[in-house]
Structure 1
Amino acid sequence: MGEGFAGEVLGRFVAESCWEDMPSALRHEAKRSLLNNLGCGLGVAKDPAVTSALAVMRNFSGAPVATVIGQRVKLDPMAAAFVNAIACNLLDYDDTHLATVIHPTAPVAPALLALAEQRGFSGAAVLHAFLLGGEVECRIGNAVSPGHYARGWHITSTCGTFGAAAGCAKLLGLSAEQTWHALGIAASQAAGLVENLPTAAKNVGVGNAPRNGMLAALLAEQGYKAAPAAIEGPLGFAHATGDTLDLAQITEGLGTQWEIARNTYKPYPAGIVFHAVIDACLALREEVGAAPEVIASVTVAGDALLLARGDRAVNNERDARVSIHHSAALGLVRGRAGVADFEMPAVTDPMLASFRAKVRAVLDESLPRGAATVTLRLADGRDIQRTVVYPRGSFERPMSDAELEQKFRDNAAIGGFADRSEAGIAGVWGLGEAPDVSGLMRALA
């Protein structure tokens, strides 16, 4: 894409991109991302974290034109995007770009769907804008990793704001320069803290990403401007929130090598780095039988991120979804890891609580991110070990379209929308040919 400021390069990339030039496999991946994410949103429609956010935003909403997933209400686009992003990300069941640990869809798609519902944009325009927004957020994420996350910035919320701004800029038809300014404005709004992940404050960061990204694009549309180097300048986003920017991660291969194509989808509602732990424990359970009492201790080895995220006490559902100990217990005691297995009844289950105490986490720097080695010490003194480098749902072992459809059905049923499943699935698969998003959003209402 040539040299220039990071925002300038990205602005030109977004503004000049043509839907007709997007590879068919990439277009299909956009639909897979939406199918996965919207199902996650339906599954938690009755969760207090969602209904409370809805109650707050409803009191301040403008014209009710944008659907809130799984609710009997519409809000203004910013408010709807806020609530829908919370819902789609709430259970840690949404997609993941492993290199950055960004969940790409929740911060971007809710803004695009809400804006499209307000202004009548086509389904193809939404898919195109999503791919561009997802690419921008993942590339900026690559460029500031790993220092950004290590310093405590919640990368889904921060980089997701850039993705939402880029996607909304594309939908609005902004020029390259306007898009550049939208990204610069987004740089002043990108926030969210890792320390808050076990609390509802995490939801606020994720909800603000599409809301603030949309605001950035709308302000740029009206002529607002930002500093040319708002991303990489001496006092810009990258320096303020982490290490120096690796500009090559943004510019090299832009438009030909797609980071958003490396998106992955979860078979388990837990942090992505725990999936290898679950897979290894499920396999070991098959090997030793279903009697957890024969297991004296469990050692889980993984990289620094696995330990930093997951070596924790389990006091609530949020802890459970990012716990090495709970993941191991589910795999070895219950032999499953579904949505219910991370809720409070599972957290307080005496058998699981007792087994979690047998689990020890250790660092193994030789293992790549997302991998884990689980070693069982049996009561008779034998050790049994299993290493999983590529868990189910990873880029190397992706979920199929049929599996994603079933995940959508399962989530919809949990939320009480089983009767809407097939319409929702058909709406996503047919989005590229739809003149607008109204049909899909009706199926999700």
Structure 2
Amino acid sequence: MSLTVSERLGAFVAGSDWRDITPAVRREATRTLLNHLGCALGVAGDPAVGAALDVMRACSAAPTATVVGQTARLDAMGAAFVNAIAANLLDYDDTHLRTVIHPAAPVAPPVLALAEQEGRSGAEALHAFLLGAEVACRVGNGVSPGHYARGWHITSTCGVIGAAAGCARLLGLSAAQTAHAIGIATSQSAGTVENLPSAAKNVSVGSAARNGILAALLARSGYEAAPQAIEGPLGWARAMGDAPDTDAMLDGLGTQWEAARNTYKPYPAGIVFHAVIDACLELRERLGAPDPASIAAVEVAGDALLLARGDRVVNNARDARVSIHHCAALGLLRGRAGVVDFEAPAAADPLLAAFRAKVTARLDESLPRGAARVTLHLADGRREEAMVASPRGSAGRPLSDAELDAKFRDNAALGGFAAKAEAQIAAIRAIADAPGLGAMMRLLAAP
């Protein structure tokens, strides 16, 4: 009898040998962690992070794990919850483009918290994170694009499965126990796209991280799940979408690494908007920073996902990060798209608001995911057009190590950690050689 999806994934996670992981894959896992932890540091003072910390502190058990950018420590589940929220808060984190999963936010925090609690080495933590991220992305492959199109926030819904797998590996669970942890996680999978512009998104990402630990601990204690929890007739995949593509989940497992295809954002906005920003920056440069009055209208064309995510009215900062209109306005008017350009003052800026009203979105099914075409209709009757298929940070134009380090420094400065940034970068990049996580996590905590 052939193995089920959970059993195949469980065997892969439990049987993986760190010595078989190529340097290139190890490097990408480390780059993902660097990007992830920088994003968490950058929002250390954000009220959303503070509120989550207060809630979890009130119900935390013994404080065994670091909360990034904070003086407080929490139990592993509490730290995982808060750290996941922080890393994903500004939509500035990593993206697996095929699925639009942000794999680090739900997977890295529980793995790091458990590794710190259990005294595991840096290599063990990095390996467990890599395996968890791989499981999240592969399960996502098998349900995309229908899963997201139906309204499921795939970072959370697949992230909890990856988090369970990574935690199972860190706890040394057997293949069978890991399969059960994965199956248990499917019963804790939640999060909707409708909630993305609200704080409810934070809850689903944080819960995915926390529940990954819970699933692994329950499996270690003897809890079991249905063998076909993922692909069964009444299993997770069909309950949340269409019949799964199990080949996309399993083919090349252990040799073709989805986690190594991760990408990193140069702009703190949804990944599908980066081509819009780049196209508008190109047009701004071509026209010599034009007067806004010289632009009568702006048309942005893209695929269905771009329009579904971003054809919206901007009422607040969360809307701005997922708005076609705001991204176009930033590129053309400000010539930049940094963290401050998506905050509340920018969302309420009357000049940006007036220009957003000039922007319309149009479906162009010929454009691939992640691409955008921007057409300017100028007041003098001329038209200017720019099309971007591979925006900065995409697989075709990945951020270099130097660019990732610069992004980390910027985030560290935003969070008040500029003086420690170089030491933090060095510690994260050396995680695979660290005997434990204590020194790195102390650097990432507030004094």
Give the TM-score normalised by the residue count of structure 2. 0.99
Q: Could you give the per-residue CA deviations for residues 132-155 of structure 1, whole angstroms, max 9, x where no partner exists?
A: 111100010010111111111110
CA shift, 1:223, in A, is 1.1
Partner of 1:298: 298
Structure 2 distance, partners of 1:404, 1:425, is 10
Partner of 2:147: 148
CA shift, 1:64, in A, is 0.4
Partner of 2:241: 242
Does residue 442 of the first structure (1) align with residue 434 of the second (2)?
A: no
Partner of 2:56: 57
Does residue 277 of the first structure (1) align with residue 263 of the second (2)?
A: no
CA shift, 1:9, in A, is 0.5
Q: How does 1:182-331 map to 2 (within 5 A)?
A: 182-290=181-289, 291-331=291-331
Does residue 350 of the first structure (1) align with residue 350 of the second (2)?
A: yes
**Gap regions ≥5 residues in structure 1:** none
Write the letter of the residue equivalent to 1:392.
Answer: R
Structure 1 distance, partners of 2:151, 2:329, is 28
Q: Is the Cα contact below 8 Å between 1:15 and 1:175 reproduced in 2? A: yes
CA shift, 1:105, in A, is 0.3
Partner of 2:31: 32
Q: Could you give the per-residue CA deviations for residues 370-409 of structure 1, whole angstroms, max 9, x where no partner exists?
A: 0000000111101110000000000110000111111011
Write the letter of the residue equivalent to 2:417.
Answer: F
Structure 1 distance, partners of 2:2, 2:332, is 52
Q: SS state of the match for residue 373, structure 2?
A: strand
Structure 1 distance, partners of 2:376, 2:167, is 50
Q: Is the Cα contact below 8 Å between 1:81 and 1:207 reproduced in 2? A: yes
CA shift, 1:56, in A, is 0.3
Partner of 1:86: 85
Structure 2 distance, partners of 1:60, 1:128, is 30
Structure 2 distance, partners of 1:416, 1:434, is 25
CA shift, 1:258, in A, is 0.8
| Structure 1 moving runs of 4+ over 4 Å | none
**Gap regions ≥5 residues in structure 2:** none
Structure 2 distance, partners of 1:134, 1:232, is 19
Q: SS state of the match for residue 87, structure 1?
A: helix
CA shift, 1:292, in A, is 2.1
Structure 1 distance, partners of 2:436, 2:294, is 58
Does residue 122 of the first structure (1) align with residue 117 of the second (2)?
A: no
Partner of 1:363: 363
Partner of 1:104: 103
Q: SS state of the match for residue 306, structure 2?
A: helix
Write the letter of the residue equivalent to 2:337.
Answer: A
Does residue 159 of the first structure (1) align with residue 143 of the second (2)?
A: no
Structure 1 distance, partners of 2:309, 2:193, is 9
Structure 2 distance, partners of 1:317, 1:420, is 28
Write the letter of the residue equivalent to 2:177.
Answer: Q
Does residue 48 of the first structure (1) align with residue 47 of the second (2)?
A: yes
CA shift, 1:3, in A, is 4.2
Partner of 2:167: 168
Write the letter of the residue equivalent to 2:194.
Answer: E
Structure 1 distance, partners of 2:7, 2:38, is 35
How many residue pairs match? The answer is 444
Q: Could you give the per-residue CA deviations for residues 87-119 of structure 1, whole angstroms, max 9, x where no partner exists?
A: 000000000011111001000000011001100
Q: SS state of the match for residue 299, structure 1?
A: strand
Write the letter of the residue equivalent to 2:301.
Answer: A
CA shift, 1:300, in A, is 0.2
Structure 2 distance, partners of 1:415, 1:127, is 24
Write the letter of the residue equivalent to 1:282.
Answer: L
Q: Is the Cα contact below 8 Å between 1:164 and 1:209 reproduced in 2? A: yes
Give the TM-score normalised by the residue count of structure 1. 0.99
Q: Is the Cα contact below 8 Å between 1:3 and 1:9 reproduced in 2? A: no
Write the letter of the residue equivalent to 2:67.
Answer: V
Partner of 1:428: 428
Structure 2 distance, partners of 1:367, 1:131, is 32
Structure 2 distance, partners of 1:20, 1:378, is 59
Partner of 2:387: 387
Write the letter of the residue equivalent to 1:400.
Answer: S
Q: Could you give the per-residue CA deviations for residues 306-361 of structure 1, whole angstroms, max 9, x where no partner exists?
A: 00000000000010000000000000000000000000110111110010000010
**Percent identity between the two aligned chains:** 71
Partner of 1:333: 333
Q: SS state of the match for residue 144, structure 1?
A: coil
CA shift, 1:62, in A, is 0.3
Structure 2 distance, partners of 1:359, 1:342, is 17
CA shift, 1:289, in A, is 1.6
Partner of 2:6: 7
Partner of 1:406: 406
Structure 2 distance, partners of 1:214, 1:368, is 36
The alignment's C-alpha RMSD in Å is 0.8
Write the letter of the residue equivalent to 1:377.
Answer: H
